[in-house]
A and B are shown apart, each in its own frame.
Chain A
Amino acid sequence: MLDYIKSYLDMNATPGQAGNVFWATVYIFVVFGGVSVAVMAMNWLERKALAHFQIRLGPMRVGPHGLLQPIADALKLLTKEDIIPSEADKFVFWIAPLIILCASFTVYIVIPFGPTHAITDLNIGILFMLGVSSLSVLGVVMAGWASNSHYPLIGALRSSAQMVSYEVAMGLAVVSAILMTSLNKTGTGTLSMIGIVQAQQAQQTWFLFKFFPLGFIAFGVFAIAMVAETNRAPFDLPEAESELTAGFHTEYSGLRWSLFMLGEYAAMIAVSSIAVTLWLGGWMRPFPNALAGETWDLVFSLFPGFTFLALAVFCFIGVARMPKHPYFRIQTIGLAGFGAVLALIGLILFAPPVRDRIFDIYWFCIKVAGFMYLYIWYRATFPRYRFDQLMKVGWKVLLPIAVGVLILTAVMGVIF
């Protein structure tokens, strides 16, 4: 048994490539569980960060600093009455959230958290991701249609138009990044997610800085399009709260509604992963060439442990600042316990065998987390675009830029 695990750990391929069904299943559970936890954490973080942008405290009551709030929310949503409007198309109404959820979770099959840390490595990985993630628009349209109500219908129409038109710009930006992968001796590019990162490794640069500023612009186009693609502020028209109450999921409540939320946040993480993979060097640590060498490798591999220790320190500061009232005792103990767990994880991450195996996952997650923070930041800062302006930005601004960048990238590729 131990030998079996050990033999796997020393393997140099993803479980999918190795054809190992058992490990692939384990990976699927780990990744999906991890994403679900990340969504809950994101839920808490968004509320807290947004609150602090807006000089509020955010959730403070459920657990220390509202840490248990996502769990309380989940429980509340699970126990709510499941309402299907009597005039709704029941089957379509029932299946729409599932489609969104499946679409946004399926893409995680090809996301490379590390050279060997992916469920599988499809040779058409990026194509698969874009294809599957755009299926979620189907769920949105079905939800809006099946509700048989005006606001959801308008929301669904907006959403489908928006997602379809931003996919074009997004696709073209992706193509220019893929074009960059073919800039090697043999001239063959790759669509494999792992291959794309390895191409960046081979070319000694993140594609963000390739042919500066071309890679940068392509990344910018993608970064804007991906916000629109996931229906987030400032492109959150389909669920524009002040206009359409809740857009396409107005009629949904309880568990079904939470599936939409889960799908939305999972999709946000998924598209951020695409951006990280294509332009930000995926799992690679920063400055792999400028700060190369054994020492720097060691320094950067200590980052994960230090991150967790820093989080633990924040917890302990929180403990010290807790009011010294008996009423807060349980919360204080809970926060201290949480800090202790984080510190323990941090210490475990310092152990060399663990350190070497997770530091690629760490760098990938940190980059994705940066994008998640940007999502919250956008939401706190920007007003919402109007529908026609949104279309204008998509077709008249982003699309020409994306085409231009693509052509220029091709030209540069031929010249150099």
Chain B
Amino acid sequence: MTDPTTYLSHLELGQPDKTFLDSNELIINMGPQHPATHGVLRVILKLDGEKVLGTECVIGYLHRGVEKIAEHRTYTMFNPYVDRMDYVAAVSNGLGYCEAVEKILNVQAPPRANYIRVILAELNRLASHMLWLGTHALDIGAMTPLFYTFRDREEILKIFEKYCGARLTTHAFRIGGCQYETYEGFEDDVKKFLDFVPPKIDEYEELLTTNRIWVERTKGVGYISGEDCIALGVTGPVLRASGVKWDLRKAQPYAAYSDFDFEIPIGQNGDTYDRYIVRMQEMRQSLRIIRQAIDRIPEGPIMAKIPKVIKPPVGEIYHSIEAPKGELGYFIVSDGSTQPYRIRVRPPSFVNLQALDLMVRGQLVADVIAVIGTLDIVLGEVDR
């Protein structure tokens, strides 16, 4: 049986040659089972020796129909499902969803809840970036940072576990605020973590930032210009590394972000190295936000007054937040019933993955791996 993807559009793959040795071009399948495609991404590569002539991403191996499931669940019931999309940044997913529903209900979460949300979301950004750093470095061949980042990520997961009982798919927030008050000693734990992490980030940087091989492997690799990013809808650190100062936490502040003083790190070159630097700086900025939030966290209720049965008015709403990987948006259409008529998620990974072909064309096979790593995709979010 011929593989249907062999007939795909722009690769002009055509009928496969009698053997692959008859032509100079080599078509190889990277994934869905491959150590460096971060899950089940399948990339069909058209190669001339080591040079990449074109790529074709085949996705959908992890499709679970999250958006369709939403149509048969109440708003409250759907809340845990969103955690399963970007499972390394579940808190951000939950935050985006809860805020979107709050927006359509026209309620405001109380300030204390917003502060808790910011703290947890930023901790989650750190966890997500740490996981990205470890796997990205592993893809490029440096094994050791992976274990260091996992060791430190563990501290974050411990805080999550103490707060809400789950480590990954946290379901930390509820529509209208937070379910749980912070536990006894939450502030101490977070403060301890804030003192614990900066030297660890220095340690990662020591291993990589000035490492000759690391710099050679990442500088100038996977270049994408700011215009191309905007044209393709690429967001997050990838966009910022190309020199576009765009961060939804500043551009349209949500939760309590307008209260905090922080900077948006940007790069100039739009290459893998800049994206690495941008993410490293973002980790430090996140720490800054958390420190301010934990110092200024107000007392008060953690749950707004919302009806027992959530029945938003007829209408539609789009709300987006700055997830660790980029703009995470929820588009909700309500028909006035207890269940959403339609929910559409704008996942950052899915949109960012589009840039892969542009970034690797003409480069080498090893760069494809580096670029997949630097895009920081999570296949659960790409396929949904």
Chain A positions near chain B (C-beta within 8 angstroms): 50, 53-56, 150-151, 153-154, 157-158, 233-234, 236-237, 240-245, 379-389
The answer to whether A55 and B365 touch across the interface, beta carbons within 8 angstroms, is no
Interface of A is mostly: helix
The answer to whether A381 and B369 touch across the interface, beta carbons within 8 angstroms, is no
Say if the beta carbon of B259 comes within 8 Å of chain A.
no
Taken together as a complex, chains A and B put the C-alpha atoms of A50 and B144 apart, in Å, by: 9
Taken together as a complex, chains A and B put the C-alpha atoms of A54 and B138 apart, in Å, by: 12
Q: A241-B35, A384-B213, A386-B367 are in contact. Are A154 and B141 (CB under 8 A)?
A: no
A residues in contact with B141, CB < 8 Å: 233-234, 236, 240, 242, 382-384
Taken together as a complex, chains A and B put the C-alpha atoms of A188 and B288 apart, in Å, by: 70
The answer to whether B213 and A242 touch across the interface, beta carbons within 8 angstroms, is no
- Ranked nearest first, the 6 interchain pairs of A and B with the lowest CB-CB distance are A384-B141, A242-B36, A54-B147, A383-B142, A383-B141, A150-B28
Q: A242-B35, A242-B139, A242-B369 are in contact. Are A384 and B217 (CB under 8 A)?
A: yes
The contact size tier of chain B is 20 to 34
Say if the beta carbon of B353 comes within 8 Å of chain A.
no
B residues in contact with A241, CB < 8 Å: 35
Say if the beta carbon of B310 comes within 8 Å of chain A.
no
- Closest CB-CB distance, A150 to chain B, in whole Å? 4
The answer to whether B140 and A384 touch across the interface, beta carbons within 8 angstroms, is yes
Q: A55-B147, A243-B369 are in contact. Are A385 and B36 (CB under 8 A)?
A: no
Our pick among A153, A243, A382, A383 for the contact of B36 (Cβ within 8 Å) is A243
- Closest CB-CB distance, B276 to chain A, in whole Å? 12
- Closest CB-CB distance, A380 to chain B, in whole Å? 5
Say if the beta carbon of B106 comes within 8 Å of chain A.
no
B residues in contact with A386, CB < 8 Å: 216-217, 364, 366-367
- Closest CB-CB distance, A390 to chain B, in whole Å? 10
B residues in contact with A54, CB < 8 Å: 143-144, 146-148
| Listed A/B pairs (19) with beta-carbon separation below 8 Å | A53-B144, A55-B147, A55-B148, A158-B50, A234-B213, A236-B141, A241-B35, A242-B36, A242-B369, A381-B142, A382-B142, A383-B137, A383-B140, A384-B217, A384-B366, A385-B213, A385-B217, A387-B364, A387-B365
Total contacts A-B at CB 8 Å? 87
Least CB separation from B141: chain A residue: A384
B residues in contact with A236, CB < 8 Å: 141
The answer to whether B366 and A56 touch across the interface, beta carbons within 8 angstroms, is no
Our pick among B50, B146, B207 for the contact of A387 (Cβ within 8 Å) is B50
Beyond A54-B146, A243-B366, A384-B366, 7 additional pairs, beta carbon < 8 A: A54-B148, A150-B20, A153-B26, A241-B35, A242-B369, A383-B141, A386-B217
B residues in contact with A150, CB < 8 Å: 20, 26, 28-29
Our pick among A233, A380, A381, A385 for the contact of B216 (Cβ within 8 Å) is A385
The answer to whether B148 and A389 touch across the interface, beta carbons within 8 angstroms, is no
A residues in contact with B61, CB < 8 Å: none
Most buried by A among B137, B139, B208: B139
Most buried by A among B147, B207, B366: B366
- Closest CB-CB distance, A384 to chain B, in whole Å? 3
B residues in contact with A151, CB < 8 Å: 28
Say if the beta carbon of B337 comes within 8 Å of chain A.
no
B residues in contact with A381, CB < 8 Å: 142, 144, 207
- Closest CB-CB distance, B27 to chain A, in whole Å? 8
A residues in contact with B29, CB < 8 Å: 150
Say if the beta carbon of B192 comes within 8 Å of chain A.
no
Residue-wise, chain B 21-51 has the 8 Å CB interface mask toward A (1 for contact) of: 0000010110000111000000000010110
- Closest CB-CB distance, A57 to chain B, in whole Å? 11
A residues in contact with B47, CB < 8 Å: 154
The answer to whether A383 and B35 touch across the interface, beta carbons within 8 angstroms, is no
Say if the beta carbon of B179 comes within 8 Å of chain A.
no
- Closest CB-CB distance, B43 to chain A, in whole Å? 12
A residues in contact with B146, CB < 8 Å: 54
Say if the beta carbon of B151 comes within 8 Å of chain A.
yes
- Closest CB-CB distance, A247 to chain B, in whole Å? 12
Say if the beta carbon of B211 comes within 8 Å of chain A.
yes
Among B107-162, those with CB < 8 Å from A are: 137-144, 146-148, 151
- Closest CB-CB distance, B322 to chain A, in whole Å? 29
Residue-wise, chain B 1-35 has the 8 Å CB interface mask toward A (1 for contact) of: 00000000000000000001000001011000011
The answer to whether A383 and B366 touch across the interface, beta carbons within 8 angstroms, is no
The answer to whether A380 and B143 touch across the interface, beta carbons within 8 angstroms, is yes
Our pick among B35, B143, B369 for the contact of A379 (Cβ within 8 Å) is B143
The answer to whether A55 and B151 touch across the interface, beta carbons within 8 angstroms, is yes
Say if the beta carbon of B186 comes within 8 Å of chain A.
no
B residues in contact with A154, CB < 8 Å: 26, 28, 47, 50, 365
Least CB separation from B218: chain A residue: A383
B residues in contact with A234, CB < 8 Å: 141, 213
Taken together as a complex, chains A and B put the C-alpha atoms of A33 and B211 apart, in Å, by: 40
Least CB separation from B19: chain A residue: A148
B residues in contact with A233, CB < 8 Å: 141
The answer to whether B213 and A382 touch across the interface, beta carbons within 8 angstroms, is yes
Least CB separation from A236: chain B residue: B141
Say if the beta carbon of B260 comes within 8 Å of chain A.
no
The answer to whether A245 and B35 touch across the interface, beta carbons within 8 angstroms, is yes
The answer to whether B213 and A383 touch across the interface, beta carbons within 8 angstroms, is yes
A residues in contact with B143, CB < 8 Å: 50, 54, 379-380
B residues in contact with A384, CB < 8 Å: 140-142, 213, 217, 366
Taken together as a complex, chains A and B put the C-alpha atoms of A387 and B217 apart, in Å, by: 10
A residues in contact with B365, CB < 8 Å: 154, 243-244, 387
A residues in contact with B364, CB < 8 Å: 386-388
Most buried by B among A242, A245, A388: A242
- Closest CB-CB distance, A396 to chain B, in whole Å? 13
Least CB separation from B50: chain A residue: A387
B residues in contact with A240, CB < 8 Å: 141, 366
